[in-house]
Structure 1
Amino acid sequence: MVFLRGLVGYWACMNGLALGYVINSPASELQHVFFSPSRFSDSLGSLLGISKRPSDPIVPPGLEDWIQEQRRISFGYLLDNIAPNGANAKDAAPGSVIASPSKHAPNYYYQWVRDAAITMGDVVEAYANSGDEKYKHIIDAYADIQGALQNTFNPSGGYTTGGLGEPKFQVDGAPFTENWARPQRDGPALRALTLISYLRALNESDPSAVDNQWLSRLYDAKLPTNSIIKADLEYISHTWNMTGFDLWEEITDLHFFTAIVQRKALVEGRDLAHALNDPEAAHWYDSQQLALKDFLARSFWNKKEGRLNAYLESPFRSGADCALLLGALHGGQEDLFPPWADEILASLEALASDFSTRYPVNQMTPPFYREEERLRGVGIGRYPEDRYDGVGLSEGHPWFLCTSSASNVLYNTIERYVEQGYFEINDINLRFFNHIRDGKAIKGKYTMGDYAFGDYLVDMFKYADSFLNVIRWHATSDGHLSEQFNRYSGFQRGAKQLTWSHGSYLGAAIDRDAAMDALQESGVVA
């Protein structure tokens, strides 16, 4: 995996004061875990669809063209849901990200802190890749509205009394005052990660734009703070051990997804505080990320089931959950549950095996791509016990964003295995490798250059592609992706044009290019 080396060597001088801004740490890649400027220009190509086009027969005819075209389409639809210029967000405040243009059955015409942060990460990536000022204007507007939302009194509280845990707002920035699942503690972490990522991207493209006054609205070395990122870091560092609602807005507990994105935000916040001469804050954030790391490492492994649990104490849930995959993608780091972690692969296998039989649509053979049964992806839902049908409660269905997250985990894993030159099959990940090898996987270390090394990775790539082929099957002819598709018929249902559905697909397609580049450059495929 290619790692972000960070912002190195930015020196700005304003009013006779030299500001040294040096960050050398892993970065949030939001949808894609880790990225670097070189990856933007090489494997990432462009969010607009420029990429290497593999000619190897591991990619079936027609699938490559669809993946790249849908990538272009999904990015356009994602921008349609961002104010002020988005076609679906004309009456929203500038910088607002609507979850969906759907206003009835269901009404998703709101801005969620979590969804907006994840979505804006894709815009940050587009800006870093292209330097296009139109993306910078969108991100600046996002920062402005987020600062305003932080200071908007809401049912969760005020700026320093819990209000940062408020999950959603009206599209004009007004508070949402009806009953809801409050608080949700992942939003501040994801927002901090997005804006820290923006600082890095801006430094690469236009360091002269970052002066003391501009920077202070994002981070200051004061307590109480009046800056967006530090306010979020203070909230996270003082509340991470408190229960809240999960990303699905259904159960109160301590959650894997929330904890892992909080931990990543504190790691990056620590490094930012060091760089901006805020040593006491850096020390505090470091102490809390270490505590969070210990909590995550010892709390969520289900030894009996051989996979992770997504929450601590929810007696009516098995603990298998797409949130585990999303947590690894958005919050995983080198030292704790990255997408290629054995525990994540085991959890992916558990989900795929369950949903392959739970949803009748998954027992049909998809058109276009008649892969071997052992390498056939399936529609992935949120969790096995799900009853939300997109409007009310009956029975759950596959979600587009969960299905593409399965692909994304695998593409990240392939890239990592090639980078380190080996992988190991062990007791934890054996269930995953047995899944793609019909129970014939053999434990041991596989090294680049061995035939088996490449053979396993090619199978993983085919398996990852097959999840995207499921999306191809259920997408409309013009590339629309709703929230869900029906467990029986495969027709779309729930909120239309869900922003996160397009963003999650976009992330998988981008990381697919990185995985293919790794396979080609290593000689695994021609």
Structure 2
Amino acid sequence: MVPADPAFDAWMAEEYAVATTAMLRSVSPTGLVRVRDAFGQVIAPKRGSVVASPAPGFYDPNPDYFFHWLRDSALVIDALLLLIAEGSVSRDALSHVDDFVAFSLALGALDGAELAQRRDYRDKVAPQFQKYLRTEEELAAVSGESILAETRFNPDGTLDVIRWSRPQHDGPALRALTVMRREAMAPAPAAGCRRAMADLLRADLDFTCRHWQDPCFDLWEEVFGHHYYTRRVQAAALAAGAAWAAALGDRHRSARYRTAADALGEALAGHWKADAGCYAAHLGRTEADGGPGADPDIAVVLAVLHAKADADAHSISDPGVQATLARLEAIFAGDYPINRTADGALAPAMGRYRGDIYGSGGAYYFATLAAAEFYYRLAAAVRGGRPIRATRDNAVFLERMPGFPRLAPERELGSTTDERRAMVAALLAKGDRFMATVRRYTPASGELSEQFDQCTGEQTSAKDLAWSYAAFITACAARSRLLRLMATA
């Protein structure tokens, strides 16, 4: 049994409620208006849009995140689906998903060439901000399928005219995964919504299938090349898409998706770097790209979580992914002053990668919560009978788990009931230590920003980041599912 900690459980319940309410403020925020004076814009969000942060900011110092990111919006809607499935919000909230699908389809009809030809948007931009506009040539190329390579849009359903890191290819794959999860839920979508979902899925999956070999910017929008995160969610989307297409009788699409998913699996294997003891987040980057290099990156952990991958290669059960997380824990434990002064009840506050300079270069709520969710989900897999394979690669990961069986090369841990119980308890305790770290650096209001400072623990960067709330919801739900499993005979 799990030792009771009423104060911890009460905080989890309170923060879950705060996160739910706060995240929903970013979904279809039609009551908000964003005036972006420097660019002459008045943005009134449409139903179905999802803003990364509803808080105003103009890099003063908080960033302007009042945009509909393809990636962030898919993660938020996915967390909403989980809230609905868990009964935390009414199934009436499925209307938000229907609106999200309709909004997403409308984005696909945008025409950058028409906008570039009009040029009227340029006349509204203050002279000192003209340099931040996209070129007319770049905008003119944004039409048809290339719309899906856009990183973000204005939540009023218009193209973003500000220079940014493009193209980016993880968004369509993540959106496809989210829409397929909605299709599998009860009640089934109405006929019109189901047709809209099918249209969006075909567009997203076809794009992913055609462009998975193309380099793009990573999820941090910093490095151009081939990325573990992008490839992992693409592989998951195409594998699920192959089954979806087969169920519709579309054997041609199903075969193409399956072939691409298998090829992506082979490509992902090339990210393993034995000398570094981790999966490389990026391949094919150039010196001019800047950003992180061979050091481990939390993007690898996020990749397997967002792909909902619990078994086999490139999942929470993969010794290489476990090794990557262990290296990240060691790096941030030493690099961040707040971790060097933490007591033994806390796990390290986690960042993105060593040397990060964005914002305060600090710890991220969604990164620390990702570590918690990883341990909860691994514990659930072990509780369900999946062993953990001990290898040279994950030796450090396993050695840092008090209560685990003694190591033996290539041994499968968890082969007996007693071993499994000890391992599940240890993994749960480790996840709780990461949650305790989040608790330590969450204000009494329960508000979650993007980062908290690595020296002071004070919140920094975007306020009320929807992704931070979504990450809390998914981590908390993973813990709840684990406890339910542990309560069964």
Q: Compare the two structures and name the one with the higher helix fraction.
A: 2
User: Counterpart of 1:166?
Assistant: 150
CA RMSD of aligned residues (A): 2.3
User: Counterpart of 1:11?
Assistant: none
| TM superposition shift of 1:449 | 4.4
| TM superposition shift of 1:458 | 1.5
Once the two structures are overlaid, the 10-residue window that deviates more, 78-87 or 468-477, is: 78-87
What is the percent sequence identity of the aligned residues?
26
Once the two structures are overlaid, the 10-residue window that deviates more, 396-405 or 154-163, is: 154-163
Match of 1:215 among 183, 189, 194: 194
2:32 and 2:415 map into 1 onto residues whose CA distance is 48
- The residue identity in structure 2 corresponding to 1:56 is V
Check conservation: 2:448, 2:468, Cα contact below 8 A.
yes
Match of 2:326 among 339, 345, 349: 349
Q: Deviations over 1:485-516 (max 9, x none)?
A: 00100000000010000101111000011222
Q: Deviations over 1:7-66 (max 9, x none)?
A: xxxxxxxxxxxxxxxxxxxxxxxxxxxxxxxxxxxxxxxxxxxxxxxx732x54511111
1:287 and 1:521 map into 2 onto residues whose CA distance is 40
Structure number with the bigger relative contact order (C-alpha 8 A, sep ≥ 6) is 1
1:513 aligns with 2:489: no
3-state SS in 1 of match to 2:486: helix
User: Counterpart of 2:65?
Assistant: 108
Match of 2:393 among 425, 428, 435: 428
Decide whether aligned partners of structure 1 residues 151 and 446 sit closer, same or farther in structure 2, where only a CA change above 3 A counts: same
User: Counterpart of 1:389?
Assistant: 359
Q: Deviations over 1:46-91 (max 9, x none)?
A: xxxxxxxxx732x545111111221111011100111146779993
User: Counterpart of 2:125?
Assistant: none
| TM superposition shift of 1:430 | 1.2
User: Counterpart of 2:98?
Assistant: 140
Which residues in structure 2 correspond to 1:258-277 (within 5 Å)?
258-277=230-249
User: Counterpart of 2:135?
Assistant: none
Once the two structures are overlaid, the 10-residue window that deviates more, 452-461 or 286-295, is: 452-461
1:176 aligns with 2:160: yes
| TM superposition shift of 1:421 | 5.3
| TM superposition shift of 1:318 | 2.5
1:429 and 1:180 map into 2 onto residues whose CA distance is 37
Which residues in structure 2 correspond to 1:84-483 (within 5 Å)?
84=29, 91-104=44-57, 105=59, 106-130=63-87, 132-154=90-112, 155=138, 157-201=141-185, 204-205=186-187, 207=188, 209-211=189-191, 213-219=192-198, 227-297=199-269, 299-314=270-285, 317-331=293-307, 333=309, 334-365=311-342, 371=345, 376-389=346-359, 396-420=361-385, 422-437=387-402, 441-443=406-408, 444-447=411-414, 449-483=416-450
User: Counterpart of 2:39?
Assistant: none
The unaligned stretches of length 5 or more in structure 1 are 1-54, 220-226, 391-395
Decide whether aligned partners of structure 1 residues 88 and 172 sit closer, same or farther in structure 2, where only a CA change above 3 A counts: closer
1:62 aligns with 2:27: no
Decide whether aligned partners of structure 1 residues 171 and 240 sit closer, same or farther in structure 2, where only a CA change above 3 A counts: same
Check conservation: 2:52, 2:465, Cα contact below 8 A.
yes
1:163 and 1:323 map into 2 onto residues whose CA distance is 24
Q: Deviations over 1:87-141 (max 9, x none)?
A: 7999311111110123322111111010001100122223344493431211111
- The residue identity in structure 2 corresponding to 1:416 is A
| TM superposition shift of 1:236 | 0.5
Q: Deviations over 1:452-472 (max 9, x none)?
A: 442233222111101111110
Check conservation: 1:88, 1:101, Cα contact below 8 A.
no
Alignment TM-score, normalising by the size of structure 2: 0.85
Alignment TM-score, normalising by the size of structure 1: 0.79
1:378 and 1:77 map into 2 onto residues whose CA distance is 25
